[in-house]
Chain A
Amino acid sequence: MASVRLRAVAKNYGAVRAIHEVNLDVEHREFVVLVGPSGCGKSTLLRMIAGLETISGGEITLDDQVINDVPAGGRGVAMVFQNYALYPHMTAAQNMAFGLENIGMAREEINRRIAHAASTLKIEELLQRRPKAMSGGQRQRIAIGRAIVRDPKVFLFDEPLSNLDAALRVQMRIEIAKLHQRLDATMIYVTHDQVEAMTLADKIVVLSAGRIEQVGTPLELYHTPRNTFVAGFIGSPKMNIIDGKVAAITPEGVDVETPSGRLAIAAEPAGLAIGDSVRVGIRPEHMGVGKPGDGLAVVVEVVERLGDETMVYGTIGDGTSVVVKLDGTARVRTGETIPISVAATDGHLFTMDGEALRRTPAALEGLFDV
């Protein structure tokens, strides 16, 4: 068993508060991804769990034992660093052995563990090489191997793929996912890449400015973002956010008058009155070309043809930029105005503070069945 609990965990740098009383539960065997923009505190939080940063307030427990004052080496966690942090003067095998030698493990057991990790990661032929004689992907494997041999309760990953090129990143992402299945280990993973977060996580934690914005499964965050920050952060391209006013409240939801036409959104109108300002959120992939006069009138500025899909960059009446994702054969030209239709059940509605209004049961039907 290896579960991690954070209770009101805070971090101050002098007078600056970097982490604001964060509460988080990481269950045994769970793959939790901390995601957020640069400076949101995700790495700091991970380093606090690792024991590399002191904890200014609150409590971190590992298997119900408070580890606030346990030194990094004694916590039973292993970490994979962004720059790998391999010891440059040691071979791959020596890198992996170092931590085990330090706790006085018998040589045969060390060798057995290294051989096992090497076969898991397919790095047998690298064991006698030094880091400088390896490629980035190979170094990354050694760094993961160094974590595996310690047989830790929790694996911590700090942006492990961000120094790799795009193709290798996809490959390593899949390998990490396989590794998680094979090792059945608890993993906490930090990234700023929402695709990594969506593909790897059992549970995503979205952070912004030292606070947790939302915790949920990838699909929960995608379908029911709690606010405009999460809505904009999860999904690519970003969700379009369009300002408007409540025009009507219907049994199906709310009708919103935008600068470029009226949209029906299947959201519960809790507390809204006609004439209130609201924000409409629509994902680019939920937009389609409608009949003239339908939905939003979008002035097309740039068309990107990707073969299987077409990305349309345009503006609406008040100058707000929107992105529309159409299929590869969509007949769209730069300069023309196209009517964009959106199904009411695909729309999101937010207050002007950015808080999401609950989507109606009709909108949510079937979304989490997968």
Chain B
Amino acid sequence: MSSAVSRARMVRLRDGLSALAFLAPFLVFYLLFLVYPFGLGIWISFHDWELVGSFREWIGLWNYEDMFADPQFWRAVRNTLTFAAMTVPVMVGLALLLALGLNRQTRIHGALRAIFFTSNVLSVTVVTLIWIMVLSPDRGLIAQLFRSLGLEPIAFLASTTWAMPAIVATTVWWGIGFPMILFLAGLQQIPGELYEAARLDNASPWRRFTRITLPALRRTFVLVAILQVIGQLQIFGQVLIMTGGGPSQSTRSLVQTIYETGFADWQLGYASAMSLFLFVVMFVASMAQLYIARQED
């Protein structure tokens, strides 16, 4: 009896160990590159911590107090939220429109799908250089267009009004492919018979779209929106290369501020505090979307 019990315990132990062995490769990476840096970030944010050298002084919540009193920080937060608020709806809406338009099995539609996805594989440097050229008030594509219409070209990236929309346009052009593919995948999972039944039920194209297509894409919507919010709140490369945060700080983003605080001013503690703030914003935004999605189910 007791030997049977101990054997069962042995088997369970052995199963547990082998499970751990299979998990180990991922677990090591997860702990080393995610959990450890995250904890370290929190730890650093309670210090006056210089990037190079050994100056580390525990200062408690001072970094946070400084941050909440810092108009530069709030300006970056506002810019970042504005950017995300402009980019995410345009991205989601446009990606859905493209997916609806390209959801056909012809050679032309296949080629167009590939073309729209291609910009996604370019690096931020390439994308921004292309758009700096397109937006250039001297020889840019849009400037030519303006001139041909008899209008004065706008120096988009030097205008406090137009710099942000220009970065939004660049970002949408760059990132539209992936959400489009997600929507296409969602569309292709809807059984064709539903549309046939709807035709027999006299449903207009609009009713088919609102009563069959949109409800079926709800999960895709939530996924795309969360990925976009998380991605766009971390806007950095486009700003750094296209405007450097200008003109007059009108495009300075939070990640850019974090980067400059940590790596130009060497104030790693303060930068960590701002990073944690960004993390909380993204976390709350994602959870809110998941919560809303679940309420409707």
Q: Give A contacts to B, CB under 8 Å.
A: 50-52, 71-74, 77-79, 81, 83, 85-90, 98-99, 102-103, 146, 150
Contact = CB atoms under 8 A, between A and B. Distances in A.
Contacts of B199: 51-52, 71-73
> Which 10 pairs between the two chains have the least Cβ-Cβ distance?
A99-B201, A73-B202, A89-B215, A85-B193, A102-B202, A85-B197, A72-B199, A72-B200, A52-B196, A102-B203
Nearest to A104: B202
A111 B112 CA distance: 46
Contact of A87 (B197, B200, B202, B204): B197
Contact of A79 (B200, B211, B215): B200
Residue of B197, B198, B202, B203 with highest tally of chain A CB at under 10 A: B197
Given A52-B199, A73-B201, A102-B207, 20 more contacts: A52-B196, A73-B202, A74-B202, A79-B196, A81-B197, A85-B191, A85-B193, A85-B194, A87-B197, A87-B198, A87-B212, A88-B216, A90-B211, A98-B211, A99-B200, A99-B201, A99-B202, A102-B202, A102-B203, A146-B197
- The B interface is mostly helix, strand or loop, or mixed, namely helix
A81 B196 contact: yes
Contacts, number: 62
A78 B212 contact: no
Nearest to B204: A102
A150 B202 CA distance: 11
Nearest to B190: A88
Give the size range of B's interface with the partner.
10 to 19
B196 A87 contact: no
A284 to B, nearest CB: 38
Interface of B: 191, 193-194, 196-204, 207, 211-212, 215-216
B211 A51 contact: no
7 contacts: A50-B200, A51-B199, A73-B201, A81-B197, A83-B193, A102-B203, A103-B202
Nearest to B202: A73
B286 to A, nearest CB: 24
A3 B202 CA distance: 22
Contacts of A83: 191, 193
A102 B215 CA distance: 18
Contacts of B203: 73, 98-99, 102
Nearest to A82: B193
A50 B215 CA distance: 26
Contacts of B204: 102
Contacts of A103: 202
B164 to A, nearest CB: 38
A85 B203 CA distance: 14
B191 A98 contact: no
B211 A78 contact: no
A85 B197 CA distance: 7
Contacts of B193: 81, 83, 85
A184 to B, nearest CB: 21
Contacts of A51: 199-200
Contacts of A73: 199-203
A186 to B, nearest CB: 16
Contacts of A52: 196, 199-200
A74 B201 CA distance: 9
Contacts of B196: 52, 72, 79, 81, 85
Contacts of B211: 87, 89-90, 98
